[in-house]
Structure 1
Amino acid sequence: GKTQRSIDVAAHAGTTFDGQHLFQLAEDRIQKIDPKTGRVLATIPAPGGGGDSGLTWAEGTLWVGQYRDRKIYQIDPQTGAILRTIESNRFVTGVTWIDGELWHGTWEGDESDLRRVDPRTGEVLERLEMPPGVGVSGLESDGGDLFFCGGGRSGKVRTVRRPKRGSATGRGSEIPVDSTRK
């Protein structure tokens, strides 16, 4: 499509919207931006100090992925205070919420997956494995049943359909994704 408008602000590895303001990761900080004027209204520290890898809004708070330290932080959007830390056993490459569920992308070596995790405990509830060699370098949802995954060096964005709730996959499932739409 055609660019309708752009906002000239520093940007790094994540953008989210709370319904009124944009929030943008910019190296070691998160900027709160007025989308009408493009003006930065406030800045809080990013929990990863520049190593952050994804940003989403849910439950009135910001959720930030941290790549190398393999963590997801829930933070107060006013102060930047860390409210909760979730550990992962793989590099965190993106975070998103969909229908009250926290999902994050991983990528390590030749393996990548999308994971639904319990936001209170960090327990992995569901995994969608990508085919070998398909990396996930960012994650967003359409608010419905689709995930959009950045493809790293491939320059592609892949679409992955979320499994239907109540299907045979159930809780704790691992689902290989053998085809992705390009």
Structure 2
Amino acid sequence: MALTFELDPSFTPALRDGITALWADVSNAGGAVGFVPPVTAEEIRPELLKHLVDIEDGRTRLVVGRDEDGAVAATAFLALNAHRLMKHWLWLYTVMVHPRHQGKGYGRDLMAAAADAARSVEGIEAIRLTCRGGTGADRFYAACGYKEVGRVPDAIRVAPGDDRDDVIMLLPLGPATP
């Protein structure tokens, strides 16, 4: 069964806890979403709070995917640019699919839902993201239509002696419809 996606859901304690648990599970399974394993929900909560402040301030949008049981199974955050010369594109970050749902095509579904959400924002013509090199994420995003447009060597230190490239990718959407 496919995931059901929602843009800008009402933020409830259950949603907060679901995203926190998802983020911990993805991180602890080796996902490159800002942490390295092991990580706890308590360590993730302050980072999620920053995301929530940006949502509340209207700077960020949230796409949530739920499984057939209604559990949070996927997320993607879309951050609008504040810089007046860059308002025609947005950032996509904290893209996650729960490990138990990976390999089912849900990641591609999430990326399509995120692109649809971006298209719904007036004036948005492209999505930009970064990903940690050495994880295969860049190949996944390329398969979803993103193009590598830059790379900063050794910009991400996941452990002493383990530096990874910061890969910059872009998906042109074309002019957004008003």
Structure with the higher fraction of residues in helix conformation: 2
Fold shared per TM-score above 0.5: no
Higher RCO (CA < 8 A, seq sep 6+) = 2
- TM-score norm. by structure 2 comes to 0.30
Report the TM-score, using the length of structure 1 for normalisation.
0.30
